[in-house]
Copies of this chain bind each other. A is one copy, B any other.
Amino acid sequence: MSLLVVGTVAFDAIETPFGKTDKIIGGAATYISLAASYFHKKINLVSVVGDDFPTESIAMMHKHHVNTAGLQIKKGEKSFFWSGRYHADMNSRDTLATELNVLANFDPIVPDEYKDCEFLMLGNLMPGVQQKVLSQLSKRPKLVVLDTMNFWMDAAWDELLKTLAMVDVLTINDSEARQLSGEYSLVKAAQKILDMGPKYLIIKKGEHGALLFNKEQVFFAPALPLEDVFDPTGAGDTFAGGFIGHIAATKDISFENMKRAIIFGSAMASFCVEKFGVEKLVGLTKDEVDERVQEFIDLVQFEIDLG
């Protein structure tokens, strides 16, 4: 039943047309773990922070069923920090600051108690670090999901390709899918990427939803139309967290169940963007999550009898 989540735990400072934050907690693994916690109650985290990271935030993660035995806390060092400003359309942003700090020399150590994990979510990190996690496991997990980004396509192409060949599901956004494949058509891009190793590809299109491909099938889930997208930071990671959380909870890696997992991921992402940072992902009730999932059902379901 174990789910291993690897990725950054960090500080962000965010500006959007709706306001700005001081340093708040963020990081891919934070969003992934919190979102997954609404579906799966045993989440093992591997990450690194400095001793500037608030103990109350770690306590908040514990409340969300996150085991932090694999969270390295580096004495006298600072946590990874990212700062960005979103443009008016919320689809593009400028990075104002990136301070790697503890991430610069991150050497992931998978605790023994995590090594037989059944489900592995590798959040966006240097591909070499993602591989190091895989190499420490005692057996191949039932499903390995990888998130990555355009930066590694520019900076670590060969390592990225090597990592891609080791995973089952890749999640990237539409422009990254185009860059990785050299194809503009997402259908063609998907077929090329599926030849690189992953058996499943999830293309995240932000406000335009997400596509799930395998070699034979395709599934589409919309994003929920919202009155306001307050802060898109972490939406993709939250989506991935809802996805892997549902998969780990059900232990079912069929295409049909991945479709459900994508709906749960989309529902969690729709919460994420309604407030700054992880604020909305803390302390949701099961009823709130179910109600949001029902909104997705109502949004896309129709009855057609082709006779």
Tell me, in angstroms, the Cα distance from A263 to B184 when the chains sit together. 25
Q: Is the CB of B300 within 8 A of A219?
A: yes
Given A211-B225, A290-B306, A304-B293, A299–B185 Cβ distance below 8 Å?
no
Nearest CB of B to A270, in Å: 12
Tell me if A225 and B218 are in contact (CB < 8 A): yes
A155: interface (CB < 8 Å): no
Within 8 A of B (CB), among A202-220: 205, 208-209, 211, 217-220
A89: CB under 8 A from chain B? Answer: yes
> Does residue A275 face the partner (Cβ distance < 8 Å to B)?
no
C-alpha gap A226/B186 in the complex (Å): 8
In this assembly, does A259 line the interface, its C-beta being within 8 Å of a C-beta of chain B? yes
Assembled-state Cα–Cα distance A259/B219 (Å): 19
- A245 contacts the other chain (Cβ, under 8 Å)? no
Instruction: Give A259 to B298 CA distance when docked, in angstroms.
Output: 11
Please tell me if the beta carbons of B219 and A185 are within 8 angstroms of each other in the complex.
Answer: no
Q: Are B226 and A259 in contact (CB under 8 A)?
A: no
Residues of chain B contacted by A226 (CB below 8 angstroms):
185, 187
10 examples of A-B residue contacts, CB within 8 angstroms: A88-B184, A185-B228, A187-B227, A208-B209, A209-B222, A219-B299, A220-B225, A220-B300, A222-B222, A293-B306
What are the nearest 9 A-B pairs in CB distance? A259-B302, A208-B208, A220-B222, A187-B227, A187-B225, A290-B306, A300-B300, A220-B299, A260-B304
Extra inter-chain contacts (17) besides given A209-B209, A219-B299, A221-B300, CB under 8 Å: A186-B225, A187-B226, A187-B227, A188-B228, A205-B208, A209-B222, A217-B298, A218-B225, A218-B299, A219-B300, A220-B225, A221-B302, A222-B222, A256-B302, A256-B303, A294-B306, A301-B301
